[in-house]
Structure 1
Amino acid sequence: MDELRLSDARLRGVAISDVQVRGGSLYRGKLYGLELCDVEITGELRNVTVNGVDIAPLIDAELNRRMPERAKMRPENADGFREAWSILERLWDGTVARARTFPEADLHRSVGEEWSFVQTLRHLCFASDAWVARAILGDPSPWHPLDLPWDEAPGWPGIPWDREARPSLDEVLAVRAERQAMVREVIAGLTDAQLASTVTQTAPGWPVLEDFPLRECLDIVLIEEWEHRQYAERDLTALAEQPPAG
């Protein structure tokens, strides 16, 4: 079922076993008398209290313990953003090198209905265009034809959204390299004063912003880069355990 909205609903005796939710949001909810077993949750957790314990900081600390570089993705100053971007580029270099060991057809395969590896790179190009080229640099229409918004996006005139395109890995990496260089240049020249400033972009399209913190634009880019690399690595591992695509 698409576009199911349960805001302000009161549900009793509800069974939702074997359900899948993608691109959902659950704010200010209360679930009482719940049996939650064999459940996998991937997403952003804030103020999530389970049996009286806020589990979000515990999960955050455990993820940082497993991946110490993850803690660098919440920088406090301009130098911290430069360090974080350098880490991301190094890690992505390794992920792309790993992807190149797979047949090209595998890089267009979906695992668990998620984006393929190529689609993931296309989405990151879109994120860089949206939050750096448009929001920070002020280009109202920075889009490349291969840019890929998130699946639940409402769609906007003039913004490309061809989920079924099958460009080669090298085609997408060429666009990706340009977007990485753009972000790298912005972060290289970043000052703490800039980081404390705001941006406004009211031209039709997305995002539309007014006095939006510049820091948050860059925070979004860092988190997008970090999380999607995790997904890509997870899916490459799954692909390695499957027969190659025909």
Structure 2
Amino acid sequence: MAAFTENDDLQKAVFTDVNLSGARFVRCDLSGVILRAAEVAGADIDAPWLLSGDNALFVNGVDVAPYVDAELNRRFPGRELRVANDPEALRTAWAALERAWATTLEQVAAMPAGTTDISVDGEWSFAQTLRHLVMATNTWFNGAIQGAENPHHPIGQPNAEYETDGLDMSVFSTAKPSYDEVLAVRAEHVTQVRDYLATVTTDELAGTRKNPWSPEYPETVLSCLHTILEEEWEHLRYATRDLATLTA
């Protein structure tokens, strides 16, 4: 089986009468790719950044991105609030998010023991997903918004590529925590954000902070909160997708 990595430059390559059925593309830049007379039945595209900004995805000449966004909002009530921009709307958005996660946690609690540690197609397990959201909260809330010098909890689950972004990976524990431990730490972090939003003001939302990955670029407190909301909804989508596979 052929395998290509970042060392292979395939920009502007032309594939003609090539059989790519069953191929898997992970963390690949496919922007601007053109498919003509292509058989794509059953293709599965997951592009979380597609629905931000002015990005588009054309299928037979139709930009389907708005339809995808609307359908995800239908499937995940409250997701449309992830771009809330005033204190009251943000509180409503966070409450909706908490309800959505509570429903999923109840589903997981009813599944067989060990389900939370099962990976589907090499993706994070449910427990690892919760640990990653701890890390995301640490980065964008405790670090960026609150300015904590050492914001990361050892239980957090970072992306492997964060090591190249200057993140001190030694702060994370190499021991595997129990699911109950993960739930407890996760609950603490959710409460931190809820308590902050309970009193945040419009002026505070407009305050500037450093982007945790690119400190030379300023962020507002509001944009940091939007990033947290985006992370939460995207990973809820991933989790429910994989739980559906496990249930089936």
TM-score range, shorter chain: 0.7 to 0.9
CA RMSD, Structure 1 to Structure 2 (Å): 2.5
Counterpart of 1:40 (choices 26, 44, 47) is 44
Q: Distance in 1 between matches of 2:78 and 2:113?
A: 30
Instruction: Tell me which residue corresponds to 2:187.
Output: 177
SS in 2 for 1:212: strand
Percent of aligned positions that are identical: 37
Q: Provide the rounded CA distance (Å) in 2 between the counterparts of 1:49 and 1:82.
A: 35
Contact 1:119/1:163, CA 8 A, preserved across alignment: no
Counterpart secondary structure, 1:135: helix
Runs (4+) off by over 6 Å: 161-164
Match of 2:78, SS? helix
Name the CA distance, whole Å, in 2 between partners of 1:140 and 1:173. Answer: 24
Unaligned runs of at least 5 residues, structure 1: 242-246
**Distance in 2, Cα, partners of 1:130 & 1:207:** 9
Aligned residues: 237
Q: Is the 8 A contact 1:104 1:169 kept in 2?
A: no
Q: CA deviation at 1:56?
A: 0.7
In 1, Cα distance between equivalents of 2:167 and 2:75: 42
Match of residue 196 from structure 1: 206
Do 2:153 and 2:171's aligned partners in 1 also have CA atoms closer than 8 Å?
no
Q: Which of 140, 164, 169 does residue 159 from structure 1 map onto? A: 169
Equivalence for 1:59:
68
C-alpha separation between the residues in 2 aligned to 1:67 and 1:32? 33
Aligned with 2:210: secondary structure? Answer: strand
Higher relative contact order (CA closer than 8 Å, sequence separation 6+)? 1
Q: Which one of 12, 16, 26 corresponds to residue 9 of structure 1?
A: 12
Residues 3-12 or 56-65, more deviating: 3-12
Q: List gaps (5 residues or longer) in structure 2.
A: none
Cα gap change, 1:157 to 1:151, in 2 (>3 Å)? closer
Aligned to 1:49: 58
More helix by share: 2
Distance 2:9 2:207 in 1: 37
